[in-house]
Structure 1
Amino acid sequence: MTHSLSRTARSLAPAFLALALGVSSLPVAAADAGTAPISLQSTTAQPAVPGVNADLRLLHHTMLGVGGHPVPATTLLLTPKGTPPAGGWPIVAWEHGTTTPGQKTCAPSQTPELDGGLTRNGFKSDYAWQIGQFTDAGYAVVAPDLEGLGPDASTPYPYYSLSSLARSLIAGVVAARAAESRLSDRWAVVGHSDGGHGVLGVEPLAGEAAGLTFVGTVASAPYVAIEAHAARFGADGKAASNEAAAHQGLMMQQFQGALMATGLKVTQPSFEEASVMGPDLAATLPRFRSLCSVAAIGTIDAAVKAKGKAFKGLKADWASQPQMHAFLAANDPAVTPGYTLHQPVLIVQGNADPFVLETLQTQFADKLTADGVPLTYKVYDGADHFSIIRRADADVLDFLRRQFAR
């Protein structure tokens, strides 16, 4: 389904994020009254990435954290080789998917594939390939590690926090503009999986600052409709005709709840895991949170295998627990009351994706369309959670070209 595209919106200031939460603990230089600092601390040259023809730097800066205070953050800046076009290189702010539930070292800047260990551990992400496509097309790429991840992180990773994911991108773009004068004032966002979820939160926060032109959003297999995913995986497991499929469904159901409980616990330390899950799943969480994604999934997989149908995991009403219900309502665009977007959006989804299910993604896309969102939604036959990146590449590049040309 394709829908008409709307006008551009103003979003970012070139050096500072507007103060939305009353932060004033750091000095503000050359900022308007009422702004909070995103301060570029330093830059570090990074080694070349095979297949990516770009200059690579790691930016050390601050961002507005979920606690309402500036926190340390790191962002990769990749600029094409050679001379920029008139007006500078347009900016693609790119956000990675789930590389970990909570381990700060599982960050793009800490791995040569720019994917926090996904490829190294068995999930070929194609993240570096996609970034190379963008730089080859003449875009500068801003790729944040995310709040709580990366070498400078000093606070926990607030997994699935939509505002944190969005502000990680915003802060990265602001820091990049401070570090590199040859960047354009026009920018778009692209994200995959949980990064696809994260980019869906950028436009609503664009009014925090002014000065740059936000031109659109690309979400690849965005991780939304969490409660519905957990329910579907659980139902599929119960209906499975063989033991392997039954185990897979149960394990994936538990994985959804473990991720959400991890994110909620960071933003609300008073949250008790026992209110939404049994002791077997709760026992996996300390180790689960300390690992990169593939090993973290393996922890739950092993625990479910050990107990089988006797596994005491998510409670039937887990998503109705008041804190969890509020967390999902605030952070999952599929269920957030009144959620909408006004700038052009492209969502791409594979129908062979075992992690983000096409049927649920299509329901989300239909809801956005019904609400008047200027959405282009494309489903790719046979594409899975990672192959969608290459399958949709031409459509993503075409969408970006058209938005930057407006």
Structure 2
Amino acid sequence: MTRFLSRAARPLAAAFLALALEVTNLSPVAAADAGPSPIALRSATAQPAVPGVNADIQLLHHTMLGVSGRPVPATTLLLTPKGAPPAGGWPIVGWEHGTTTPGQRTCAPSQTPELDGGLTRDGFKSDYSWQISQFIDAGYAVVAPDLEGLGPDATTPYPYYSLSSLARSLVAGVVAARAAEPSLSERWAVVGHSDGGHGVLGVEALAKEATGLAFAGTVASAPYVAIEAHAARFEADAKTASDEAAAHQGLMMQQFQGALMATGLKVTQPSFDEASIMGPDLAETLPRFRSLCSVAAIGTIDAAVKAKGRAFEGLNADWGSQPQMHAFLAANDPAVMPDYTLHQPLLIVQGNADPFVLEALQTRFADRLKASGARLTYKVYDGADHFSIIRRANADVLDFLRQQFAR
């Protein structure tokens, strides 16, 4: 996908919130009211060393509260620095990966040497293991969940884009890690990239489920938000493109947004009919799309769009207004969730050359957060794209974490 993605880089209201909670039951605030998660550590197994990561690594087998409202099996990687912990224990960085798959459980960090669910293996260097090494070298333990529905123990589907599921995967992983390793501190912060960046934006509302621990703050790197707005922007790019390659790219990226959201919604709402938001060409790709890791999954849509060009029958113009989809986005996309804000310190980092999460839409979200009173630091990095943002923002991320853990 490196080669494919480098081509990509080329050139409502309170009433509706009530509907969202009724239809999806996925609001993190509403979910938090349900009580503490039934988290139980079942076992921990030693994992092989990861090149460049100077840590002891364990795979934790535990339970978490799933989107069904029942406990489900989950797995989480725990990486701790070698040597003696500092007084008070190793501070914890809960780290969440981006989109590694729409629904294939083997595309999980614990199942790949680079800790990225196959992105590097399939040709798209993620820098995830490098980022984790930076946290280890700074003296932090890293808790990296595979996420609900992903990993070797998963028995239920992956509820893609569910904010409560993403957040609870981290909360459960941190609680399980503390049960497995007494050298961990009670202080924790979260860092996520792309859809993981979206996921960490839901953690603060559920952090109290990590009983007895002190939540310190959030780092979101190119968080995947404003989904409907992204689809509309890509559609506009396709319509105004001056050449077929650019038109194809915009159309493909528009379809990709809808395919991901349809996949996530279908898991939480089996009654959802994809045909209510899309034409037959896109609908026909979904079974295979959901069975693959990200690189091949997006390639499936790319090939389908190429085969039909501008005649491709994909997302309906009003796809986001279909009641179930509209409610799903309102309950899970912080950029459109009514009254969404955070109270603990938050850092968002974004590249202005990112072809997947667009800087203009991220800046609009950041402005909305600031207006809500969020304690946000927002930084844009010139020339950084969707993955190079990890290295470009590293010093600022480490400085932010250092400040929060020092409070």
For residues 111-160 of structure 1, give each alpha carbon's deviation from its aligned partner in whole angstroms, at most 9, with x where no partner exists.
00000000111211000000000000000000000000000000000000
| Equivalent residue number for residue 174 of structure 1 | 175
The letter of the residue matching 1:206 is: A
Count, aligned residues? 377
| Equivalent residue number for residue 255 of structure 1 | 256
Task: Calculate percent identity across the aligned residue pairs.
Answer: 86
Cα distance in 1 between the residues matched to 2:215 and 2:205: 11
| Equivalent residue number for residue 209 of structure 2 | 208
| Equivalent residue number for residue 48 of structure 2 | 47
The letter of the residue matching 2:363 is: T
Larger displacement relative to structure 2 (87-96 or 35-44)? 35-44
Cα distance in 1 between the residues matched to 2:33 and 2:391: 39
* Kept after mapping to 2: 8 A contact 1:101/1:262: yes
Cα distance in 2 between the residues matched to 1:381 and 1:277: 36
| Equivalent residue number for residue 273 of structure 1 | 274
Per-residue deviation, 1:110: 0.2
The letter of the residue matching 2:150 is: L
| Equivalent residue number for residue 240 of structure 2 | 239
| CA shift in 2, pair 1:58/1:269, >3 Å | same
Larger displacement relative to structure 2 (202-211 or 381-390)? 202-211
Counterpart secondary structure, 2:398: helix
Matched, 1:360 2:361: yes
Counterpart secondary structure, 2:334: coil
Per-residue deviation, 1:37: 2.6
* Kept after mapping to 1: 8 A contact 2:189/2:217: yes
For residues 138-185 of structure 1, give each alpha carbon's deviation from its aligned partner in whole angstroms, at most 9, with x where no partner exists.
000000000000000000000000000000000000000000000000
Cα distance in 2 between the residues matched to 1:205 and 1:116: 25
* Kept after mapping to 1: 8 A contact 2:167/2:206: yes
Matched, 1:282 2:269: no
| Equivalent residue number for residue 349 of structure 2 | 348
Per-residue deviation, 1:307: 0.5
| Equivalent residue number for residue 59 of structure 2 | 58
Cα distance in 1 between the residues matched to 2:141 and 2:302: 39
* Kept after mapping to 1: 8 A contact 2:37/2:172: no
Cα distance in 1 between the residues matched to 2:301 and 2:72: 31
Per-residue deviation, 1:205: 1.4
More helix by share: 2
| Equivalent residue number for residue 144 of structure 2 | 143
* Kept after mapping to 2: 8 A contact 1:21/1:68: no
Per-residue deviation, 1:306: 0.3
| Equivalent residue number for residue 330 of structure 2 | 329
| Equivalent residue number for residue 163 of structure 2 | 162
| Equivalent residue number for residue 225 of structure 1 | 226
Cα distance in 2 between the residues matched to 1:199 and 1:238: 34
The letter of the residue matching 2:385 is: D
| CA shift in 2, pair 1:206/1:351, >3 Å | same
Per-residue deviation, 1:21: 7.1
Counterpart secondary structure, 2:380: strand
The letter of the residue matching 1:231 is: A
* Kept after mapping to 2: 8 A contact 1:76/1:142: yes
Q: Which runs of 5+ in 1 are unaligned?
A: 1-18, 23-33
The letter of the residue matching 1:348 is: V
Cα distance in 2 between the residues matched to 1:283 and 1:76: 35
| Equivalent residue number for residue 102 of structure 2 | 101
Per-residue deviation, 1:352: 0.3
Cα distance in 2 between the residues matched to 1:394 and 1:201: 24
Counterpart secondary structure, 1:37: coil
* Kept after mapping to 1: 8 A contact 2:255/2:301: yes
* TM-score, with length taken from structure 1: 0.92
| Equivalent residue number for residue 389 of structure 2 | 388
For residues 3-27 of structure 1, give each alpha carbon's deviation from its aligned partner in whole angstroms, at most 9, with x where no partner exists.
xxxxxxxxxxxxxxxx9576xxxxx
Larger displacement relative to structure 2 (74-83 or 116-125)? 116-125
Counterpart secondary structure, 2:317: coil
The letter of the residue matching 1:195 is: G
For residues 320-364 of structure 1, give each alpha carbon's deviation from its aligned partner in whole angstroms, at most 9, with x where no partner exists.
000000000000000000111000000000000000000000000
RMSD (Å), alpha carbons: 1.0
Cα distance in 2 between the residues matched to 1:54 and 1:404: 20
Cα distance in 1 between the residues matched to 2:124 and 2:244: 24
| CA shift in 2, pair 1:20/1:337, >3 Å | closer
